[in-house]
Amino acid sequence: MNILGIETSCDETAAAVVSDGVRVRSHVVATSLKEHACFGGIIPEIASRRQIESIYLVVSRALREAKMTWGPIGAIAVTTKPGLIGSLLVGVAFARALAYATGKPLVEVDHIQAHWYACFLRKADDKSPLPQLPAVGLVVSGGHTSLFDIKDFNRVKLLGQTRDDAAGESFDKVARLLNLGYPGGPAIDRLAKEGVNQQIRFPRAQLENSYDFSFSGLKTAVLYYTRQHKNFSVPQVAYAFQDSVISVLTAKAIQACQRKKAKSLLVGGGVAANSALRLSLQQAARRHHISLHLPSMDFCLDNATMIAGLGYWFDVAHH
């Protein structure tokens, strides 16, 4: 069963073909990120305009790279929430038109759920075992930081989420304070390696007896520190900030696995590409005998393979 996935929730325009919910046949992403960089964030009008221009070419290329015509495509899966309204409209309108023209079923997919599903995707040469369910899902991206209790693909419960800034958003805001440009995540990840120290320690919002997260206080603490210490070390501040975020993410994810007796921890979202977070989760999972699953770097950022992959299970459920 081949599913064509379409993803346009933010600034990317992506299309992919995935077989049986697992095997990636093609994976195409066009991004307008460079056009947003000078503004220090995503400008919705620019994003949707570029998506209108590129969606036909991206979908055509995804089919071409998968070496498929419309015949073998079983359904079309598209991101319908959450995201930028204008961007979502581009993808949904195009997917609906395709479904109408080709007679294929249309499957609606939640973008956040799809991020943890990225752990199930496999490229042609990847023979690694698939995650076992039940699992806990940790999604850490620019707009969302959420923990899920995953019984199976159609039974997913939200355990907790951020009460203010998402982890990725706080990376971008702190990077702006430190004049590191946009997006901030990769720059902080790189600099933190040079700034390892124990002198600077920022607060960690544990929010006892809750799976929720909070990062706005941490961001404010960084702001005050940089104002009070005029000759601060940028790498050291980057390290201390990142260490605070990662310690909370790791602790809550492991705690959820233990309490829910989950076999696996599935991690997804743009911040899942952070090298220090990956290492912290690997060490903690090993210590607590939890099977950790991280997507390949290509599938951490917004993409359509995860939409096609999760869409397969929704389509199977309906048929």
Any domain includes 157: yes
User: Domain range spanning residue 75?
Assistant: 2-123+299-318
Any domain includes 130: no
Instruction: Let me know whether 30 and 113 are in one domain.
Output: yes
**pLDDT tens across 275-314, in order?**
999 999 999 999 999 999 999 999 999 999 999 999 999 8
Contacts of 166 (CB under 8 A, 6+ apart): 140, 141, 142, 143, 144, 145, 215
Compute the average pLDDT of residues 189-197.
96
The DSSP-derived string for 90-140 is HHHHHHHHHHHHHT--EEEEEHHHHHHHGGG-B-TT--PPPPPSSEEEEEE
Instruction: Let me know whether 154 and 286 are in one domain.
Output: yes
Instruction: Let me know whether 91 and 198 are in one domain.
Output: no
**pLDDT tens across 170-183, in order?**
999 999 999 998 88
Any domain includes 129: no
Instruction: Let me know whether 101 and 191 are in one domain.
Output: no
Question: What pLDDT, on the 0 to 100 scale, is given for residue 319?
Answer: 53
Any domain includes 128: no
Exposed, middle or buried: residue 76 (CB in 10 Å: 0-12, 13-18, 19+)?
buried
Using a pLDDT cut of 90, give the percent of the chain over it.
87
Compute the average pLDDT of residues 58-85.
96
CATH number at residue 220: 3.30.420.40
CB 4 within 8 A of CB 60: no
Instruction: Let me know whether 139 and 256 are in one domain.
Output: yes
What span, in angstroms and rounded, lies between the C-alpha atoms of 118 and 266? 9
Q: Hey, is 291 helix, strand or coil?
A: strand
Instruction: Let me know whether 87 and 152 are in one domain.
Output: no
Question: What pLDDT, on the 0 to 100 scale, is given for residue 125?
Answer: 85
Closest CA to 177 of 208, 221, 145, 138: 221
Instruction: Let me know whether 117 and 192 are in one domain.
Output: no
Instruction: Let me know whether 13 and 47 are in one domain.
Output: yes
CB 248 within 8 A of CB 206: yes
**Range scoring the smallest mean pLDDT among 36-50, 66-80, 141-155:** 36-50
CA angle 315, 316, 319 (to 5 degrees): 90
Average pLDDT, the chain: 94
Any domain includes 310: yes
CB 60 within 8 A of CB 24: no
Exposed, middle or buried: residue 303 (CB in 10 Å: 0-12, 13-18, 19+)?
buried
Instruction: Let me know whether 222 and 114 are in one domain.
Output: no
Any domain includes 239: yes
**Range scoring the smallest mean pLDDT among 32-46, 238-252, 283-297:** 32-46
Compute the average pLDDT of residues 240-266.
96
Residue bearing the bigger pLDDT, 307 or 32:
307
Question: What pLDDT, on the 0 to 100 scale, is given for residue 318?
Answer: 58
CA 73 to chain centre: 26
CB 23 within 8 A of CB 312: no
Domains held by the chain: number: 2
Asked if pLDDT for residue 197 goes beyond 60, the answer is yes
Question: What pLDDT, on the 0 to 100 scale, is given for residue 266?
Answer: 98
Any domain includes 89: yes
Compute the average pLDDT of residues 201-224.
94
pTM of the full structure: 0.93
The residue behind tokens 């005998």 is: 289
Instruction: Let me know whether 53 and 151 are in one domain.
Output: no
Question: What pLDDT, on the 0 to 100 scale, is given for residue 317?
Answer: 57
Question: What tokens were used for 56?
Answer: 């036909």
Any domain includes 217: yes
Instruction: Let me know whether 286 and 260 are in one domain.
Output: yes
Instruction: Let me know whether 146 and 271 are in one domain.
Output: yes
